Amino acid sequence: MASNLVYVLNGPNLNLLGTREPEIYGSQTLDDIGEMTAAHAETLGLAIDMRQSNHEGHLIDWLHEAQAEGIKAVLLNAGAYTHTSIALHDAIKGIKVPVIEIHLSNPHNREEFRHISWIGKAAKATIAGFGAKGYLLGLDAVSRF
């Protein structure tokens, strides 16, 4: 069992971080965020497995895998699936592994359609609006589980 391992799952278009609307999402790439998150995890006695997919089914499979592998927790930035995916909602509800929803921006300060989060309705907690530091805040929370 990998009780100190945290999955950090990233959804669609997050592979474009650093170039995609940096005024909203910042200038750090997903690789930059991964390095920063891994370093912070180490200081907390945790390890991360960071993944990204533009495909909903991959994210669902990884949530199921987290349960099967006994992962400590999942940080999930589901991207636009946040607002549309009942399938991800159901996958989170179907596992016992705590899931923390992460958003780089604050969806409530953005377009109306972003105000609904199917992920947040199933997740243990939501961290939003802190940019890439949200991943670190998520790890800080996980370290207290």
Long-range contacts of 24-31 (CB under 8 A, 24+ apart): 24/104, 24/105, 24/110, 25/104, 25/105, 25/131, 26/104, 26/131, 26/132, 28/131, 28/132
103 is catalytic: yes
Going by C-beta distance under 8 Å and a sequence separation of 6 or more, which residues neighbour residue 10? Answer: 30, 50, 51, 52, 53, 77, 79
Of 7, 25, 81, 135, which residue is the catalytic one? 25
Of 7, 40, 81, 103, which residue is the catalytic one? 103
Check if the beta carbon of residue 118 is closer than 8 Å to that of residue 82. Answer: yes
Check if the beta carbon of residue 87 is closer than 8 Å to that of residue 60. Answer: yes
64 is catalytic: no
Strands of the chain (E only): list them: 5-10, 47-52, 73-77, 99-103, 125-128
- What are the residue numbers of the active site? 25, 103
